[in-house]
């Protein structure tokens, strides 16, 4: 999917975080297994499948913030892979905030 399609997915889920990967410039949605609405836990089976199918070049992670806060949470920062981009889609505006 494209960046714009990922924004549309986030906008369609205004009360729950959605998440995914950016692999070889393609935005890929990954199932959020978290029980809460304000956190995400990616399905690792889907992560591996997406990486293998698309060439294993991880560019970054993306997820939404339904509360509209553009800043990464402490959990976002803790689990973010070093050297990769983090994209946060804030709701309800659909803006994408980029962090290296």
pLDDT tens string 13-65: 999 999 999 999 999 999 999 998 889 999 999 999 999 999 889 999 999 99
User: What are the chain's domains?
Assistant: 3-99 (3.40.140.10)
Helix (H, G, I), strand (E, B) or coil at 12: coil
Query: Residue 74's pLDDT is what?
Result: 94
What pLDDT, on the 0 to 100 scale, is given for residue 55? 85
Q: What is the DSSP string of 34-95?
A: -SSSS---B-HHHHHHHHHHHTS-EEEEEEEETT---SPPHHHHHHSPTTSEEEEEETTTTE
Residue pLDDT, tens place only, 64-87: 999 999 999 999 999 899 999 999
Which residues are within 8 A (CB) of 20 and not within 5 positions of it... i.e. 6 or more apart? 6, 27, 28, 29, 30, 42, 61, 62, 63
Torsion, Cα of 71, 62, 24, 56 (10° steps): 110
Q: What is the pTM of this model?
A: 0.93
| pLDDT, greater one: 36 or 5 | 5
């Amino acid at each position: 999917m494209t960046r714009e399609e990922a924004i549309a997915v986030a906008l369609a889920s205004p009360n729950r975080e959605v998440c995914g990967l950016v692999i070889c410039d393609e935005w890929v949605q990954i199932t959020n297994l978290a029980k809460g609405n304000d956190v995400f836990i990616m399905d690792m089976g889907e992560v591996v499948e997406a990486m293998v199918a698309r060439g294993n070049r991880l560019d970054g992670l993306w997820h939404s913030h339904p509360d509209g806060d553009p800043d990464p949470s402490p959990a976002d920062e803790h689990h973010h892979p070093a050297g990769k981009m983090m994209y946060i889609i804030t709701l309800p505006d659909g803006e994408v905030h980029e962090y290296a």
